[in-house]
Copies of this chain bind each other. A is one copy, B any other.
Amino acid sequence: MLELVDLTKSLPDEVYESVFPDLEIRLGRIQRAAREAGVPVILVFEGWDASGKGTAINRLAQALDPRGFKVHPIREATTMERRHPWLWRFWNATPAAGQWAIFDRSWYGRVLADRISETVGKKDRRQAFEDIQAFERQLSEGGAVIVKFWLHIGRSEQKRRFRILESNEATAWKVGKVERHQHRHYDLWRRAVEDMLERTSPAYARWTVVEATQSRFARVKIFETLIHAVQTELDRRVAHPLAAGKPMPVPKQSPTGRHGLLDRLDLGLTLESGDYEKQLDRWQRRLFDLENRLYVARIPAVIVYEGQDAGGKGGNIRRLTRGMDPRGYEVVPVAAPTTEEKDHHYLWRFWKNVPRTGHITVFDRSWYGRVLVERVEGFCTRDEWRRAYREINEFERQLTDSGVIIIKFWLQISRDEQLRRFKDRQETPFKEWKITAEDWRNRDKWRQYKVCVEEMLQQTSTSAAPWIILEANCKLYARIKALKTVAAAMEAALRKRE
């Protein structure tokens, strides 16, 4: 593949002088247009050492309005980054609507440098390709433009450039062990690069190989490619506006779903309070120990609570965490997204809250809002919530692959029980604030929610991250079942680690 690249390509000075100023103006213009249209743009610069990535990025930076972009130089992961799933730091850096993120090196390090140095094994590498595909597809489907450049120079050109860098005291540090190693193993690298280019060039995130022997030629090609890619997306949006969503009304009850999973639950399961107190004490002690052992073993855990309003999520979480050390767990309540969150891919805010090794994050509501409230209320389009099942499964698999335990609880109560609890809240002075008009409105949509919940359970109960349903009419029963489930999952993870 790369052997066909014509590395002698260059532009005469007079051609460059006649086209480049215009490209700069056009780039500025398209940046403003992308901002207005709310299109996020992701630029990836990969290439040989000394191929001119820095210079190319700097010329871009000069032509762009600094209010609209950020350069992310990707170096070795920090300790904190290594304590998270490997894509975590890249998710955190994805741009908001209308913003540009310029990556100087990127997630492709995983299948290049890490491959050559063999820090990532063959199986993980294969996984990495899948992860990358999912990552870019999710962002692209979320509306981002992704443009990826491979800056290509020949082996002898690289040598020549290293010599220049080495001859200047101020830049000699740039040619170190890593760079010399790449130069010695140029062919090995080339094969890895070709493999990468072939595997990761889908239509929505294509690689552009840039002949970079002459920096002016490279610069013009980069500007042209970029302007074209953003313009294409802007044109597409005019032709097919992302319908902000007319909600597709959720059927109240699907005819085939009359006797669904939720109807088959035994909501009569209860626990006596004497028995409860004894068991609570026992399981809280057990969890105290387990939290410590997980911490020492550096195993992270994610615990998701979903359920109807007044299903008892808050009280359940408090019992779960009562015996724990607050330095090791965090409860993340998920409400309506902030403006900043709305300006990003909907998974972005959850990625930010993925726990580091040895820590536990309890989500009080979660990314499942996409296929529940957002679906029912029409806050997202039909395409968006339908796509979400797959996105969620990919997201959770990426977590479990990196060693995160995932436990997902659905708290189910009956409609009558909900009514009883709503009334109780209204009548108890210090619980009053917990009940709002919105709760009553949601209650009216009980049956639509039921359809969504059943579909969600079915679509996202995977072997690595299955749903656990808590029969929650009796709060005591649901609490003990949650504690037991968490303890069992933690013990299983610890055994596996041994």
- Decide yes or no whether A476 CB sits under 8 A from chain B: no
List, in ascending order, chain B residues with CB within 8 A of A66's CB. Answer: 317, 331-333, 364
> Which of A73-81, A192-200, A204-212, A251-259 lies at the binding interface?
A73-81
List, in ascending order, chain B residues with CB within 8 A of A102's CB. Answer: 326
A292 touching B173 by the CB < 8 A rule?
Answer: yes
- Decide yes or no whether A318 CB sits under 8 A from chain B: yes
A29 touching B430 by the CB < 8 A rule?
Answer: yes
Interface of A is mostly: helix
- The A441-461 residues at the B interface (CB cut-off 8 A) are none
Q: A71-B327, A288-B170, A289-B170 are in contact. Are A322 and B29 (CB under 8 A)?
A: no
Return A475 CB to nearest CB of chain B, in Å: 16
Q: Give the distance in Å from the alpha carbon of A216 to the alpha carbon of B340 in the complex.
A: 42
A430 touching B173 by the CB < 8 A rule?
Answer: no
List, in ascending order, chain B residues with CB within 8 A of A167's CB. Answer: none
- The A123-181 residues at the B interface (CB cut-off 8 A) are 168-171, 173-174
- Decide yes or no whether A61 CB sits under 8 A from chain B: yes
- Decide yes or no whether A54 CB sits under 8 A from chain B: yes
Q: Give the distance in Å from the alpha carbon of A364 to the alpha carbon of B68 in the complex.
A: 13
Task: Name the CB-closest residue of B to A45.
Answer: B326
A32 touching B80 by the CB < 8 A rule?
Answer: no
A292 touching B430 by the CB < 8 A rule?
Answer: no
A326 touching B292 by the CB < 8 A rule?
Answer: no
Q: Which 4 A-B pairs have the closest CB atoms?
A: A170-B289, A73-B327, A170-B292, A66-B331
19 example contacts (A-B, Cβ-Cβ < 8 A) are as follows A54-B326, A54-B327, A58-B322, A58-B325, A58-B326, A61-B326, A66-B364, A70-B330, A71-B326, A71-B327, A71-B330, A79-B79, A102-B326, A104-B327, A168-B289, A170-B292, A338-B339, A338-B340, A340-B340
A residues adjacent to B (C-beta < 8 A): 25, 28-29, 32, 54, 57-58, 61-62, 65-67, 70-71, 73, 78-80, 102, 104, 168-171, 173-174, 288-290, 292-293, 296, 317-318, 321-322, 324-327, 330-333, 335, 338-340, 364, 430, 433
